[in-house]
């Protein structure tokens, strides 16, 4: 009987070893989508749920399982670092381990440096007398840049007073600023808070423009909210000027798509003539970035609340050859940090 049992076991083992699964899951090959641009891999699809529902779902998940937000990897940018603390989940009563063995002095100084607010030391090729309230009365200064600034020495620019930067990313539905990838990466390496902006074309479908921006701009939780730049451009081949109602409808489509994708309400950048034609009294629940290079925004845009003021298009700074746009944040240093807490991963 013992030999019979052993024989049975040997025969059964040989039979099982000869079996192979033919399940479709073992042989299914998933072909990646070809719906990508030449610059980056395709981003995740835009969720259909509204932003409020999306945030509520994320908050509910965070209450039960502490899962960090998904990292999005782009071909040129790599993975996005998450702003998290290694002591975040340690009970208040528990002894906290020393960080000295794992963080070098140089790395610690770099972290502190990134949080510092630098006083501005900009010049201006065309200085303006703004009256009683000038840009120097504001604590947090920054810049906006594009290909026209060429190669930027970002550490020097930051030390000269650029605490934040808005970087040109896209135009219309098919143009990527050739310096965007470099500026996006180097600005963050230098410790600036940075965001991306899109120059809106009135002859292109709004949803196409939003999709193009989303494909090319990383979903980095540490970034500033995205910007839609709306103005009349006499140099463009597109001479169309839609009605104010059409302007606002196209803007809304674009902004809704960006807000669903990035989870942040977009900032509206505009100039005096376009604002007067289309935006007076509109979009009261959106942050505004206002161009006013001859007078304070309170005089150019009466009654309009604003977050950023572009006060010069002829700024001068170390780290940049030629002129650069200069901006301020509307608030103190502490208000800046609170605004970042609400609008980025800072």
Residues 236-294: pLDDT tens digits?
777 789 999 999 999 999 999 999 999 999 999 999 999 999 999 999 999 999 999 99
Residues 122-175: pLDDT tens digits?
999 999 999 999 999 999 999 999 999 999 999 999 999 999 999 999 999 999
Separation CA 39–CA 230 (nearest Å): 25
- Given a cut of 90, whether residue 321 has pLDDT beyond it is yes
- Given a cut of 50, whether residue 320 has pLDDT beyond it is yes
- Given a cut of 70, whether residue 323 has pLDDT beyond it is yes
| Active-site residue (options: 72, 151, 189, 231) | 231
Burial call 206-238: b when 16+ CB within 10 Å, e when fewer: beebbbbbbbbbbbbbbbbbbbbbbbebeeeee
pLDDT at 344: 77
Is 231 assigned a catalytic role? Answer: yes
Residues 66-115: pLDDT tens digits?
333 433 333 333 333 333 332 333 334 433 333 333 334 444 444 444 47
Domain spans of the chain, in order of start: 120-343
> Looking at domain 120-343, which of 3.20.20.80, 3.90.1150.10, 3.40.50.620, 3.30.70.2700 is its CATH number?
3.20.20.80
Are 314 and 323 in contact by the 8 Å Cβ rule? The answer is yes
Are 119 and 281 in contact by the 8 Å Cβ rule? The answer is no
Nearest Cα neighbor of 199 from 230, 226, 177 is 230
pLDDT at 346: 56
């Amino acid at each position: 009987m013992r030999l019979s049992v052993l024989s049975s076991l040997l025969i059964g083992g040989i039979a099982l070893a000869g079996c192979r699964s033919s399940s479709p899951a073992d042989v299914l090959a998933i072909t990646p989508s070809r719906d990508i641009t030449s610059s980056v891999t395709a981003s995740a699809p835009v969720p259909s749920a509204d932003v409020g529902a999306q945030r509520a779902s994320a908050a509910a998940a965070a209450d039960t399982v502490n899962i960090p937000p998904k990292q999005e990897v782009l071909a040129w940018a790599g993975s996005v670092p998450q702003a998290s603390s290694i002591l975040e989940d340690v009970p208040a009563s528990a002894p906290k381990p020393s960080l000295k063995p794992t963080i070098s002095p140089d790395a610690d100084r770099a972290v502190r440096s990134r949080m510092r607010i630098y006083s501005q030391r900009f010049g201006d090729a065309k200085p303006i007398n703004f009256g009683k309230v000038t840009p120097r009365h504001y604590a947090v200064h920054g810049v906006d840049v594009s290909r026209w600034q060429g190669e930027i020495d970002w550490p020097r620019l930051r030390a000269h007073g650029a605490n934040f930067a808005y970087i040109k990313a896209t135009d219309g539905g098919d143009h990527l600023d050739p310096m965007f990838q470099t500026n996006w990466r180097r600005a963050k390496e230098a410790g600036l808070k940075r965001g991306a902006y899109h120059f809106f074309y009135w002859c292109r479908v709004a949803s196409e423009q939003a999709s193009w921006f989303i494909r090319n701009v990383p979903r980095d939780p540490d970034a500033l909210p995205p910007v839609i730049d709306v103005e009349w451009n006499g140099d463009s081949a597109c001479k169309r000027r839609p009605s104010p109602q059409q302007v606002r409808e196209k803007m809304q489509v674009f902004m809704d798509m960006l807000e669903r994708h990035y989870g942040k309400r977009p900032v509206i950048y505009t100039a005096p003539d376009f604002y007067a034609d289309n935006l007076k009294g509109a979009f009261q629940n959106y942050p505004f970035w206002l161009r006013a290079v001859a007078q304070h925004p309170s005089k150019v845009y009466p009654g309009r609340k604003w977050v950023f003021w572009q006060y010069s298009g002829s700024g001068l700074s170390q780290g940049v050859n030629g002129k650069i746009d200069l901006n301020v944040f509307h608030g103190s240093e502490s208000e800046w940090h609170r605004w970042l807490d609400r609008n980025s991963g800072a």
